[in-house]
Amino acid sequence: MGNHGKKMIAPIVVTVLMVLYLVGFSIAAFIILPSAWVWIVFGGVPLICAGVMIAVCIQRMKEIRSGEEDDLSKY
């Protein structure tokens, strides 16, 4: 595994764990909460957050591949 491959492991692991947690929370909210509007808040919002986590992970992978590992050095 190359240098870039090792740097991609942590963001992928964190993303997978967070997405599993958020999807599990959403499923639990769907099973437990009978009201539709309450499920939208407690079930839909975590699903949106999971989608954002995936998008951020993809963006981070592109940054690592292009060599921008340290974004703070620009400022």
Q: Considering its fold, how many domains does the chain have in total?
A: 1
pLDDT for residue 18: 95
What's the average model confidence in pLDDT over 4-10? 80
**Which range of residues forms the domain containing residue 18?**
3-65
Tell me the Ramachandran region of residue 2: left when phi exceeds 0, alpha when psi lies from -120 to 50, beta otherwise.
beta
Per the domain annotation, does 70 fall within a domain?
Answer: no
Q: If you average pLDDT over every residue of the chain, what do you get?
A: 85
Tens of pLDDT, residue by residue over 8-37, are 888 999 999 999 999 999 888 888 877 888
**33 close to 39: Cβ distance less than 8 angstroms:** yes
Asked if pLDDT for residue 74 goes beyond 80, the answer is no
Is residue 60 a part of any domain in this protein? yes
Residue 17 lies in a domain: yes
pLDDT value of position 2: 65
pTM: predicted TM-score of the whole model, two decimal places? 0.78
pLDDT of residue 20: 96
